[in-house]
Structure 1
């Protein structure tokens, strides 16, 4: 594949001030708030990193983004005061926030680099991420630790980077964006957020008595009989761009009766199939794909629009590696569409009940692939006064501590001005070669030219 965009590897120095705690600007209630039974599942007990890049804005004069954002966070925490607390664990692993007002961790930093040096392809993985989002020793635990860590790094060009790490049990992508938009509003002079946050985590608590009424293969206990399929060493990280031309090429493989499929569905089916071919599992082995589905609108009535807890499911499509690889794309596509369609209010109620009856299990990771579409989450729209982000979204290509298991779908505009989706993929190097060949063959087999600067392949900043 011919690279459509490339950036050279580079190293820069970041000078950080000592981490500090930002507390709410006014006194807040000291109370305990239970998380929902969707929030505190094992698979969400980790820290998720997000990063925003902002360009220099001459109209902001000598305004210091660190000072502006620091003060805005303190004001926003008055309304989102649970973020300033600490998680505690009760009986049966039940998580709750003790709203202590201790605050969120904040780091002020300066980097000897310009935004332009990151190149045109602002997408994960990012160089020196550990410098732009410093892991303060002792801060990354799930319990009794700050729930947010925010680092604001000034750049030589007058731009800046806001990097953030969230304890995922507190919020999903829409919930986090809601908080960040509120910080942006306060930074621009508002006295209160335009959207007032809604806690109400009891809306997603288990029923009494709990009753699991749906099938939840995403929480199957899958024995790792053949060894872990993701090698921890010799991993290759690449990002792939899917614009209108690439999506159109893939749609040529969609059978007539599935033509109403979404871009997410056809892309997910394609990546799942190509990835499985690349990993070459035993044909009889079960493989599964987990699709993140936002369930806010699946309830009657819908969840409050300002609800900022986790409100999604991981519905799973399940088949054998042999069937997935040997059948045409329509086979995988139909499985993905059915899995997504399974999510409704009863599914979410059943899921909460499963959590309390089975001890809040982790989703299955053996021979699994998880995809999360953040193209409409709104990370890039967060405005602290310097305009929208040049890039806003996930700071890494995957989630959790297991490399290669997950991919985000990230909004991206290429050099030609085409809007599309970038998907970071992490695979063992030999499997990555097969994956790229398989994907390239699918695109080339249509009448869409993909070379000469329109390839899906983008080299990363690493």
Structure 2
């Protein structure tokens, strides 16, 4: 079901941004990023938001003070985060660990946790106020790597919002850092998982050796007009509980299908129909596949907080995707996931080095990123589990085709997932109709199967 955004606004009072440095002296050194990290497509900042309710056991304790002090102590372990990125030869990114610090902002909002809806879900009202864009802080080079704003609410709850440089870490990496801040805020001396840099583990072979085709970095030839994709975008969130997932599964061939595969196959098809592309237009699905713990032995150690994923792609035509049953898109989604191998990861690194670290191609591409297991629910600054933790919006200006799957609990306690999408307004309207039609037909299929038993 679609979720409408909360529309009202409120006033936020913030203090002057400050540079928050490590609590103790840290090494001044230079560290190379990996050849996965510094590709063009990761050279931007991502935002995340966590909401925490009032906790009576924490009366008299200030979340801003506790978190600020914990961040400073945690930066002693994660000292590269307090540094600045420099541009090296052949566009190789290098972290100068100089202890300059991250940006920290203290704020108060004339709002309560209830003002964000029940339940809380993206997109959020006044996000620009909840995470102030400090002038001069958004460049990739020579800028703070992380910006954090902690906003107190009138009800005693608070919002933790952050923006981080994607070249330095990915979602699981920044969650690892936030969990470490939480542990230290709760009294630990050291994080339970110590950070591991070791970016050389995802560097290209010497000499670079490309062993796979990498459609994710190759252009899509087009002879058709697709102006609708460039229109102003709107964000929507869609909830899928056990009933909705089961309904969609009834549209698929028998077999073992994960919730990710089911939702991705259905949403990709609905999205493509809504875009109304020429039938011969090439469309792609890009799967964000995390390489952590995927292999035995693992190629990345516990504590690695750099970018640990690759972006395998499958392609078809809009006509084939739209005219075939959902099982067709399901097979393609599974093929994209199946491309992941250790050799594939090495091949990606080599391809990037040999081709000038290009941007992946997101044109007419549906990108799905599953962050359910990134660990946002484990972040606890002393106030307990958050009401919501995840992305602040669907995609971004640089990734309009990217959607995120996030864990979600409804107000009546049902556990499911939320998928956020960003589409032009008229396309979004058509998408909602296609999704409703699919859910209705799936429910009808379910009833038919049950009546036939």
Q: TM-score range by the shorter chain?
A: over 0.9
Q: Which of 400, 407, 410 is the equivalent residue of 1:411? A: 407
Aligned to 1:456: none
Partner Cα distance (1:93, 1:226) in 2: 34
Partner Cα distance (2:171, 2:233) in 1: 27
1:378 aligns to 2:375 (yes or no):
yes
**Where do residues 22-171 of structure 1 align in structure 2 (5 Å cutoff)?**
22-171=20-169
What displacement does 1:399 show?
A: 3.6
- Tell me if the contact between 1:229 and 1:279 (Cα under 8 Å) persists in the aligned partners: no
What displacement does 1:380 show?
A: 2.4
1:347 aligns to 2:337 (yes or no):
no
What displacement does 1:65 show?
A: 0.6
Q: Which of 177, 189, 192 is the equivalent residue of 1:191? A: 189
Q: Which of 203, 206, 221 is the equivalent residue of 1:205? A: 203
- TM-score, with normalisation over the residues of structure 1? 0.93
1:333 aligns to 2:324 (yes or no):
no
What displacement does 1:400 show?
A: 4.7
> Structure 1 unaligned runs (5+)?
451-462
Aligned to 2:361: 364
Aligned to 2:297: 301
- Tell me if the contact between 1:233 and 1:428 (Cα under 8 Å) persists in the aligned partners: yes
Tell which deviates more after alignment, 221-230 or 384-393.
Answer: 221-230
Secondary structure, in 3 states, of the residue corresponding to 1:407? strand
Partner Cα distance (1:200, 1:428) in 2: 41
Aligned to 1:422: 418
Tell which deviates more after alignment, 45-54 or 435-444.
Answer: 435-444
> Structure 2 unaligned runs (5+)?
447-453
1:401 aligns to 2:402 (yes or no):
no
Tell which deviates more after alignment, 97-106 or 298-307.
Answer: 298-307
What displacement does 1:394 show?
A: 0.5
Cα RMSD over matched residues?
Answer: 1.6
What displacement does 1:229 show?
A: 5.0
- Tell me if the contact between 1:124 and 1:396 (Cα under 8 Å) persists in the aligned partners: yes
- TM-score, with normalisation over the residues of structure 2? 0.95
Partner Cα distance (2:202, 2:126) in 1: 38
Partner Cα distance (1:252, 1:56) in 2: 42
- Tell me if the contact between 1:293 and 1:312 (Cα under 8 Å) persists in the aligned partners: yes
What displacement does 1:141 show?
A: 0.3
Partner Cα distance (1:224, 1:199) in 2: 41
Aligned to 1:179: 177
1:278 aligns to 2:274 (yes or no):
yes
What displacement does 1:225 show?
A: 4.4
What displacement does 1:231 show?
A: 4.2
What displacement does 1:359 show?
A: 0.6
- Tell me if the contact between 1:229 and 1:367 (Cα under 8 Å) persists in the aligned partners: no
Aligned to 2:451: none
**Where do residues 259-274 of structure 1 align in structure 2 (5 Å cutoff)?**
259-274=255-270
Change (3 A) 1:448 1:111: farther
Partner Cα distance (1:26, 1:224) in 2: 55
Cα deviations by residue, 1:366-417 (Å, 9 ceiling, x for unpaired):
11111100111111220000001111110111145343x1110011111332
Asked which structure has the greater RCO (Cα within 8 Å, sep 6+), the reply is: 1
- How many residues are matched? 445
Change (3 A) 1:447 1:360: same
**Where do residues 201-240 of structure 1 align in structure 2 (5 Å cutoff)?**
201-223=199-221, 225-227=223-225, 231-240=229-238
